[in-house]
Amino acid sequence: MIVEGAFDVAKLVEAGIRNTVASFGAHLADTQLPRLELIGMHLGVRKVLLAYDRDRAGRDGEERARELLQTAGFEVIGFDWEMTFPSPRRGAVGIPADITDVGKLTVEQVQWLRARCAI
């Protein structure tokens, strides 16, 4: 999993998800790619979830990162900030609009999303 910042990584680690790194901004640099390839090779990782922030910079950065990672042979999935889940009492429930990055989710929310294979 690739996220934008250190606080996003910290939240994921706190929630028990340790297979994550930060690009330190919504821009995956060409110079970061060899390191990700090395990690992927040693750990057998070929599938990446990009969870950049829910803003214009995050969307643009995700598009560029997706292209770079796919060129390197990774399968890339983008985190769907607009996903909804059925609720018997409230209908379709989504991630609140004021939660704009992974670091703003609670540990419980991250674990709930992980249990549903969304993270």
Tell me if the pTM is above 0.85: yes
Residue 22 DSSP class: E
30-49 confidence digits (pLDDT tens): 999 999 999 999 999 999 99
Decide: 36 and 17 in contact? Cβ < 8 Å: no
Question: 55's torsion region: left (phi>0), alpha (psi -120 to 50) or beta?
Answer: beta
Of all residues in the chain, the percent with pLDDT exceeding 70 is 100
| Total count of residues recorded for the chain | 119
Q: What is the CA radius of gyration of the chain?
A: 14
Report residue 117's pLDDT band, with 50, 70 and 90 as the boundaries.
confident
